Amino acid sequence: MPSAQQQPFPPQGYIPAASALPGIELFMPAPVVEQEQAVVDFKCPQCGATTAYCIQERGLTCSYCGFYEPPHQAVVGKGAEAFEFTLEALSRAAHGWGVERLELQCQNCRAATSLPTGKLTSTCPFCGSNRVVQHAGDQNALRPRFLIPFGVVPDACRELATHWLGSSWMTPSALQRLARLAEFVPIYLPFWTFDARTRADWEAEVGHSETERYYEDGEWKTRTVTVWKWESGRAALFIDDLLIPGTSRLSAVLLNRLKDFDTRQLVEYEPRYLAGMQAQAYDVQLEAAWQQARAEMREQTREACCDQASTSEIRNFSMTLDFSDETWRYALFPVYVAVYRYEDRAYQVMINGQTGTMAGQRPVDWGKVWLAVALMLVPGLALALLGIITLIFGIGVIFLVFGLILLIVGGIFAFKTVQKAREMEHV
Amino acid sequence: MSELTLPVDIASVWGADLEPRFCPRCDWRYLAQPGAAATRCPHCARAELQPLAAPETLAFATAEPELVAASTLSAEALAQCIQEFAASIPFAPQDLDPATLRGRLQRCYLPLWLVDADAQAVWQAEVGFDYEAASHREHFDDNRGAWDTERIIETRIRWEPRVGRLQRAYHNVAAPALEADAALRQGLGVHDLRGAQPYAPALVERALVRLPDRSTADAWPDSVPAVQRVAAQECQQAASAQHIRDFHWTPEFSGHNWTLLLQPVYATYYLDDERQPQALLLHGQMGQVMGARRASPQRAQRMTLILVAIAAVLLILSLVCGGVGVLFPPLLIAAGLGVLLAVAVGVGALAPIIIVWRFNRQQAGE
């Protein structure tokens, strides 16, 4: 170890700390100072007008003088800092923000406004100034520390939506033409991301088909029987970046359909990204989101255990699953939200602001659906009927058998079609 | 203090009238009460201690005794330990009798250096703070069709770097005072120093006190790791942390003060088949015995001869039975059994010799 004479003491970046023992001096690394500014206002340094983040330009821009400033944060990706489920963090997360609304004074025109604590951004209704609210201090770990910037430009959204409206045969033919699509609103939505290792020990009875010979009615016959054998194993998974929506204000079904975000594009949070945009804070608590995530993780692990069995016939399955290395992050992900009207009814549609994946409600033309169901069932029914009629001639058995097979296959497809139609309409 | 000067007055240091003695065989040096009966050397038991007549250097006699480790072994426990030792040797020599061993017991003290020193240092380390995190264990059963969730609270450690300076005094840090300390620890075990009491002359009455044969200059490097351990614990305490690791420091020491701690042991001996004394040391707190274990080949041979004689008698009787059995056939069976028994006893007669040979060979190897 270098002597004290060769190095300055204390080392750079160290500050004095309280010592519990006389005669011993203590120094610790200086804590990183988080920015204190509770509310950030965006003004153009050139002309003083209000600036906003432009998705197309991927930076802060002034629509008056053309000022442009890119954000300063580099991509951190999967190396983004994650937090453990300490009792302290869970307790802090459960208590939330502590206030129902924030009282803010506009730094530009001094007008007083009131903002629900669930909102992270606002535009002054009096002077149009853009503001980003930051809850610093004790809530450090529970303010968004990362986000994925918008990659899909607003102009592309309408085209995507129009194409999507006409992409399913189940929707009314006039939907694409008559649907009145409102403007797509870019909004940063809160998401929790979870990482964990799962290790599960399982055991189950696994069925193996075996043929056996038996003597009946004066002759040897063969039959297939299922022999059950106990099997056991161990499965270990690392589940990386499982996303759970942190907001309950939008349809969870739709959010789950478009959460194919690429977390390798995560950047460190910077207020510039939110200037002029809408952004929501979480209202789904960490513990509730983790419960949901755990449910998904254990199902993934259970499937991995079942895959280890030598056949897919399983009974009396039991498993014990241990979680370890659990971490979480709170981040903002980009989503476009819009509403369109068709026949005096409103339907919601969302676009993943990074990948362009669409999810939304669409009206179903049930006439088309039932016609399709009928077309799937009729051939089987007709063939079966023919088989019954021609039974007396002997060949009816063949028609009956094929008819029943067609009926079963048609029935399965019909069931899936109706299910898909229901999913499309109800979210 | 000059370790190598002849003391002016041992009594003024020890508070008791003690005279230096030495063993002419192994040169171990002791302090003993003057006029006490001749005592065998507790270390080798091969010679009686002689007074140090010549005014030669008497190393370390002026080292002051400060503490005495508590002697917690009761008389009953001591007797039990001796009993167990004697019973652990198959075909023990005749002289290895618990009562004989007890009768030869001599109380002794083995020295340990204690040093006080002031330390100034710059240090660095990583300190660990405990925190609790929640984890889960889930159990699924097909028959119930539901998951059971168990919440587990785990204690984890968060490591943070710290640097600092210290200026502290360290007291009574132990260091070996004998060259044979490592062997003694291995054979006897370590003494529990927590209940050590201040030295009083009455404690060494009728006891032998082994003098150090290791200088403080040699012992000091052995103390430094112990001081460092104490310093690391203090730095952990100063940081209000629960753990510490990777502790490094650059210390400067001053104000050394050396004293002695006396560790109680008991010495005795027994005579083996060659009438050679075998020294035994007993730990004054735990009763663990250190010393040579020698089984007696003579006793084994005696046992073998007895068994061979029995086998011979059985064989003769069997042969006689066999002779009579020619006329009275049932006796032939008895004769056959008798021959078998004689052979078995004859073969078994080798067992004592083999047991003793193997035992002594094993002990010599250890």
Give pLDDT, residue A415. Answer: 94
Predicted confidence (pLDDT) at residue B4 exceeds the cutoff of 60:
no
List beta partners, residue A133.
A39
Give pLDDT, residue B55. Answer: 46
CB–CB contact A3 B131 (8 Å): no
Give pLDDT, residue A37. Answer: 56
Predicted confidence (pLDDT) at residue B177 exceeds the cutoff of 70:
yes
Q: Chain A contacts of B141, Cβ < 8 Å? A: 317-318
Mean pLDDT of B206-220: 89
- pLDDT tens digit string along B76-98? 898 999 999 989 999 999 898 88
Give pLDDT, residue B12. Answer: 80
CB–CB contact B248 A17 (8 Å): no
Give the list of residues 6+ apart from residue A33 with CB closer than 8 angstroms, or none: none
Give residue B2's pLDDT band: very low, low, confident or very high (50, 70, 90). very low
- pLDDT tens digit string along A335-352? 998 877 777 777 788 999
Query: Out of B131, B142, B237, whose CB is closest to A21?
Result: B237
Q: Chain B contacts of A85, Cβ < 8 Å? A: 133-135
Question: Cα–Cα distance between A292 and A297 in angstroms, integer?
Answer: 9
Q: Give the chain B residue nearest A324 (alpha carbons).
A: B135
Q: Chain A contacts of B234, Cβ < 8 Å? A: 21, 24
**ipTM score of complex:** 0.72
- Interface subset of B 242-261, CB within 8 angstroms of A: 248-250
Q: Please report, for chain B, the start and end positions of each structural domain, with discontinuous segments joined by +.
A: 3-113+173-212+258-291, 297-365
CB–CB contact B238 A26 (8 Å): yes
Kindly give the interhelix angle for A87-95 and A286-308, rounded to the nearest 10 degrees: 130
Give residue A82's pLDDT band: very low, low, confident or very high (50, 70, 90). confident
- The minimum CA-CA distance between B128 and chain A, rounded to whole Å, is 13
Q: What tokens were used for A137?
A: 């201090």
- The minimum CA-CA distance between A231 and chain B, rounded to whole Å, is 15
- The minimum CA-CA distance between A266 and chain B, rounded to whole Å, is 26
Question: Is the pLDDT higher at A103 or at B110?
Answer: B110
Q: Give the chain A residue nearest B138 (alpha carbons).
A: A321
Q: Return the minimum-mean-pLDDT range out of A33-37, A79-83, A322-326, B30-34.
A: A33-37
Q: Which of A172, A176, A175, A174 is nearest to A368 (CA)?
A: A172
- The minimum CA-CA distance between B141 and chain A, rounded to whole Å, is 4
CB–CB contact A315 B142 (8 Å): yes
Q: What tokens were used for B1?
A: 């203090």
> What DSSP character marks residue B106?
E
- The minimum CA-CA distance between A225 and chain B, rounded to whole Å, is 23
Give pLDDT, residue A417. Answer: 92
Mean pLDDT of A83-105: 70
Q: For an interface test with A, which of B140, B167, B234, B240 has the most A Cβ atoms less than 10 Å from its Cβ?
A: B140
Mean pLDDT of B269-289: 91
Q: Which stretch, A91-100, A252-261, B58-67, has highest mean pLDDT?
A: A252-261
Cis (ω within 30 of 0) for the bond into B201?
no
Q: Return the minimum-mean-pLDDT range out of A247-261, B166-180, B313-327.
A: A247-261
User: How many Cβ atoms from other residues are within 10 Å of residue A81's Cβ?
Assistant: 11
Question: Cα–Cα distance between B96 and B356 in angstroms, integer?
Answer: 15
Question: Is the pLDDT higher at B209 or at A348?
Answer: B209
Mean pLDDT of B144-171: 93
Query: Out of B161, B168, B240, whose CB is closest to A20?
Result: B240
- pLDDT tens digit string along A192-246? 999 999 999 999 999 999 999 999 999 999 999 999 999 999 999 999 999 999 9
Q: Chain A contacts of B248, Cβ < 8 Å? A: 1
Give pLDDT, residue A134. Answer: 60
- The minimum CA-CA distance between B168 and chain A, rounded to whole Å, is 6
- The minimum CA-CA distance between B152 and chain A, rounded to whole Å, is 10
SS3 of residue A273 by DSSP: helix
Residue whose pair of structure tokens reads 């400033």 in the numeric block: A69
Give the pTM.
Answer: 0.67
- The minimum CA-CA distance between A188 and chain B, rounded to whole Å, is 29
CB pairs under 8 A between A and B: 106
Q: Chain A contacts of B148, Cβ < 8 Å? A: none
Question: Cα–Cα distance between A235 and A301 in angstroms, integer?
Answer: 7
Q: Chain B contacts of A319, Cβ < 8 Å? A: 139-140
Question: Cα–Cα distance between A38 and A134 in angstroms, integer?
Answer: 5
Give pLDDT, residue A143. Answer: 77
Query: Out of B133, B161, B234, whose CB is closest to A85?
Result: B133
Mean pLDDT of A114-124: 65
Give residue A1's pLDDT band: very low, low, confident or very high (50, 70, 90). very low
Give residue A95's pLDDT band: very low, low, confident or very high (50, 70, 90). low
Q: Chain B contacts of A88, Cβ < 8 Å? A: 131
Q: For an interface test with B, which of A1, A6, A19, A24 has the most B Cβ atoms less than 10 Å from its Cβ?
A: A24
Q: Chain A contacts of B138, Cβ < 8 Å? A: 294, 298, 320-321, 323
Q: Give the chain B residue nearest A205 (alpha carbons).
A: B142
Q: Given strand A39-42, what is the order of strands in its sheet?
A: A39-42, A130-133, A121-123
- Interface subset of B 134-163, CB within 8 angstroms of A: 134-143, 147, 149, 153, 156, 160-163
CB–CB contact B138 A298 (8 Å): yes
Give pLDDT, residue B136. Answer: 93
Residue whose pair of structure tokens reads 């009686």 in the numeric block: B48
Give pLDDT, residue A229. Answer: 95
Give pLDDT, residue B271. Answer: 92
Give pLDDT, residue A96. Answer: 55
Query: What is the average pLDDT score of chain A?
Result: 83
- pLDDT tens digit string along B299-318? 999 999 999 999 999 999 99
Question: Is the pLDDT higher at A411 or at B64?
Answer: A411
Q: Which of A319, A315, A313, A307 is nearest to A205 (CA)?
A: A315
Predicted confidence (pLDDT) at residue A171 exceeds the cutoff of 70:
yes
Query: Out of B149, B153, B238, whose CB is closest to A20?
Result: B238
Give pLDDT, residue A38. Answer: 63
Give pLDDT, residue A180. Answer: 66
Question: Cα–Cα distance between B287 and B78 in angstroms, integer?
Answer: 6
CB–CB contact B142 A321 (8 Å): no
Q: Chain B contacts of A93, Cβ < 8 Å? A: none
Q: Chain B contacts of A18, Cβ < 8 Å? A: 240
Give pLDDT, residue A126. Answer: 56
